[in-house]
Structure 1
Amino acid sequence: MNIKSIITATIALLVSTACSGGAKQEKVMNKDGKAVVVFFSHAGDNYSVGNIEVGNTKIVADYITELTGAEQFEIVTHKYDGMAYNPLIKLAQEETKNGELPDYEGDIDLSKYDTVFIGGPVWWGTYPQVMFTFFKKHANDLKGKTVIPFTTHEGSGLANCVEDVEDAFPAANVTKGFSVYGHEVRTEKKKVEKWLNSLGF
């Protein structure tokens, strides 16, 4: 086999591999299935963006809904209402340290969804503890489903959120997570769109 034939065969192999990888990713995402965004978002006093009426994670959740047609379930608790940033973070630290599970309002039946986005801010290296209340309640509800974690943050990235979601839902297909700075969410919708495109949506 001459050099030209070898190069042609190599290119064909690479193209074939890339195409099969893309098809696999699209199948895993099941973009034609039903999706929901489960999230916790904190309005009020936030680091870097000040006192906001709509939480950073809520804005990302709304982008996901707009771009994919996913439904939403917001994990709502009034435990943190009206708190200034520093006392809130101190409380969050204590909750994380003690493994507290604050109550939240309402609930959702996850059985009808194929894909579940899970998002929240990063408080002390992971999601807020109220999200773990939700995780515990639905620990057996995401078997075989695609779970896509995302976070808003001001320097923590994904922290331990992906690993904690994997631990909470060991029978789910947990994908690589996505993170975005809270101070960027109002102007960087394109970053969310690029991420969703990479998932096949």
Structure 2
Amino acid sequence: MEKFILALTVLTLAAGCALAAPRDTALVAVFSKTGEQYNVGVIQEGNTMIVAKMIAAAIGADLFEIRPAKAYPESYDETTDVAKKELRAGARPELAEDKDIGAYDTVFLGYPIWWGEMPMAVFTFLESHDWKGKTVIPFATHEGSGMGRTQESLRKTLPDATILSGLAVRGAVAQNERAQAQQAVTEWLAKLGL
């Protein structure tokens, strides 16, 4: 019996040490859309998700997909209509699931640019967490608007976080010119010192 208790104590201590080990400090949180997309047709993997996976692989970060509880339509035109209405209304769509960001010091935040802004579901995610002391590094896919107004929106929405300069990649490049997108990601991460 004493040997069993000793073995159990050793296992418990070992488990405690494992739990006390440092957790990952970087997260890539991304909103991305599949289906019919401007300038790339019908896609199975979203433009922004492609870039997100490149970033996560390069820095060894966890990856979390921001998804609304009610999916956007497959049609590009229908999606833009919904996105426009949500933007005008300042909507905060319910999310399918959430991610505890407490263990992360740095969050790479990815999204497509919709009408010069982040999709409203991204605001839902942002407003659901405490960002005090965290570093947020945005990246976006677009078809001509770069980062849009999102750097300013992030500073306004997350006043207690440090917001670094973002990366903007054309959606068509992410989807069809992956080596070029990878080079842009690699150079951007190097500028960030990662």
Q: Please give the TM-score of this superposition, normalised by the length of structure 2.
A: 0.82
Query: Following the alignment from structure 1 to structure 2, what is the Cα–Cα distance between the partners of residues 51 and 77?
Result: 20
Query: Following the alignment from structure 1 to structure 2, what is the Cα–Cα distance between the partners of residues 80 and 107?
Result: 15
Query: Following the alignment from structure 2 to structure 1, what is the Cα–Cα distance between the partners of residues 119 and 99?
Result: 19
Does 2:148 match 1:162?
Answer: no
Query: Following the alignment from structure 1 to structure 2, what is the Cα–Cα distance between the partners of residues 89 and 81?
Result: 9
Equivalent of 2:67 in 59, 63, 76: 76
Query: Following the alignment from structure 2 to structure 1, what is the Cα–Cα distance between the partners of residues 72 and 53?
Result: 21
- Native 8 Å contact 1:80 1:88 kept in 2: no
Query: Following the alignment from structure 1 to structure 2, what is the Cα–Cα distance between the partners of residues 185 and 61?
Result: 10
Query: Following the alignment from structure 1 to structure 2, what is the Cα–Cα distance between the partners of residues 84 and 164?
Result: 27
3-state secondary structure, aligned to 2:99: coil
The 1:78/1:52 distance shift into structure 2, 3 A limit, reads: farther
Greater CA deviation, 127-136 or 69-78?
69-78
Does 2:111 match 1:120?
Answer: yes
Query: How far has the Cα of 1:194 moved from its partner?
Result: 0.7
Q: Please give the TM-score of this superposition, normalised by the length of structure 1.
A: 0.80
The equivalent residue for 1:149 is: 138
The equivalent residue for 1:109 is: 100
Query: Following the alignment from structure 2 to structure 1, what is the Cα–Cα distance between the partners of residues 150 and 170?
Result: 15
Does 2:124 match 1:133?
Answer: yes
Query: Following the alignment from structure 1 to structure 2, what is the Cα–Cα distance between the partners of residues 123 and 180?
Result: 14
Query: How far has the Cα of 1:125 moved from its partner?
Result: 1.1
Query: Following the alignment from structure 1 to structure 2, what is the Cα–Cα distance between the partners of residues 56 and 78?
Result: 20
- Deviation per CA, 1:130-168, whole angstroms, max 9, x where unpaired? 111111111xx2111111011100011000111111111
- Deviation per CA, 1:155-196, whole angstroms, max 9, x where unpaired? 110001111111111011101111000000142211111111
Query: Following the alignment from structure 1 to structure 2, what is the Cα–Cα distance between the partners of residues 89 and 80?
Result: 13
Q: Which amino acid aligns with 1:173?
A: T
Does 2:188 match 1:195?
Answer: yes
Query: How far has the Cα of 1:81 moved from its partner?
Result: 4.2
- Deviation per CA, 1:1-42, whole angstroms, max 9, x where unpaired? xxxxxxxxxxxxxxxxxxxxxxxxxxxxxxxx7100111000
- Native 8 Å contact 2:72 2:79 kept in 1: no
- 1:53-64 alignment to 2 at 5 Å? 53-64=44-55
Matched length: 167
- Native 8 Å contact 1:44 1:81 kept in 2: no
3-state secondary structure, aligned to 2:97: coil
Query: Following the alignment from structure 1 to structure 2, what is the Cα–Cα distance between the partners of residues 196 and 137?
Result: 27
3-state secondary structure, aligned to 1:135: helix
Query: How far has the Cα of 1:49 moved from its partner?
Result: 0.5
